[in-house]
């Protein structure tokens, strides 16, 4: 009788592989990509309502734009709302209409720069 691995070990391996894959993918993107993409994370209600998929570069969750229920708005009647992530409550959502990939790797690169302020050596130009 073969010994089966406990389920938790299989899950840990899956999580670790996903993290490694995301880190490898993140290396493909430059500092200028990260800075340029950030402008698509605010005042984007109109664009996101046309998109199908988006992601949060704070919690790294990828989800349907239909899940967005909260928007930040300035003045009454402001139609340039900024999405609030339904998973973490942070206004760090970017949609596919940005032209940037909505992948764990790209979101990780964004998160690393905008929330952890990693040194420029992390970004190869």
Q: Residue 112 has which token pair?
A: 């690393």
The pLDDT assigned to 77 comes to 61
CA distances from 61 to 52, 88, 121 (A): 14, 9, 26
CB 34 within 8 A of CB 113: yes
Q: Which helix (H) or strand (E) holds 71?
A: strand 70-72
Please give the radius of gyration of the chain, using alpha carbons only, rounded to the nearest integer: 17
Res. 120: pLDDT tops 90: no
Comparing 70-74, 79-83, 98-102, 121-125, which segment has the lowest mean pLDDT? 121-125
Res. 116: pLDDT tops 50: yes
């Amino acid at each position: 009788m073969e010994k089966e691995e406990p389920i938790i070990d299989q899950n840990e391996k899956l999580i670790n592989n996903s993290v490694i894959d995301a880190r490898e993918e993140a290396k493909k993107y430059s500092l200028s990509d990260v800075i340029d993409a950030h402008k698509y994370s605010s005042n984007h209600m109109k664009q996101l309502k046309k998109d199908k998929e988006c992601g949060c570069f704070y919690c790294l969750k990828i989800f349907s734009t239909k899940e967005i229920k909260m928007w930040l708005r300035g003045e009454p009647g402001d139609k340039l709302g900024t999405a609030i992530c339904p998973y973490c409550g942070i206004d760090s959502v970017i949609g596919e209409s940005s032209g940037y990939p909505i992948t764990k790797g790209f979101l990780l690169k964004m998160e690393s720069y905008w929330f952890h302020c990693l040194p420029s050596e992390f970004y190869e130009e």
